[in-house]
């Protein structure tokens, strides 16, 4: 099957090929040793945590407290 790369470096998968991967929105793209582009279907799994929970846990892990955040905001506003 022939596909064309657009000026935005995008390609559209032909319907016959796309239909073989129902429910797949993402593909991992690699180049193999012979120079061919290989697309591997990837199913994205939703995170068990919300983005806010992820950030909150990261802040706690780094030991950042409210005072640190206030200082950072004050510093950023001075610039």
Q: Mind listing the pLDDT tens digit for each residue in 9-56?
A: 999 999 999 999 998 999 999 999 999 999 999 988 777 778 888 899
By CB atoms closer than 10 A (0-12, 13-18, 19+), residue 24 is: middle
| Right CATH for 1-45 from 2.60.40, 2.10.260, 1.20.120, 1.10.8 | 2.10.260
pTM over the 0.95 mark: no
- pLDDT of residue 5 exceeding 80, the answer is yes
Q: How confident is the model at residue 74 (pLDDT cuts 50, 70, 90)?
A: very high
CA 6-8-13 angle, to 5 degrees, is 50
Residues spanned by CATH 2.10.260 within the chain? 1-45
At 75 the pLDDT is 95
**Angle (nearest 5°) at CA 42 between 36 and 47:** 150
């Amino acid at each position: 099957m022939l596909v064309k790369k657009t000026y935005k470096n995008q390609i559209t998968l032909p319907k016959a090929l796309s239909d073989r991967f129902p429910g797949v929105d993402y593909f991992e793209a690699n180049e193999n040793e012979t120079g061919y582009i290989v697309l591997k279907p990837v199913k994205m799994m939703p995170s068990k945590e919300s983005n806010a929970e992820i950030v909150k846990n990261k802040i706690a892990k780094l030991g950042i407290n409210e005072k640190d955040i206030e200082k950072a905001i004050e510093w950023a506003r001075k610039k």
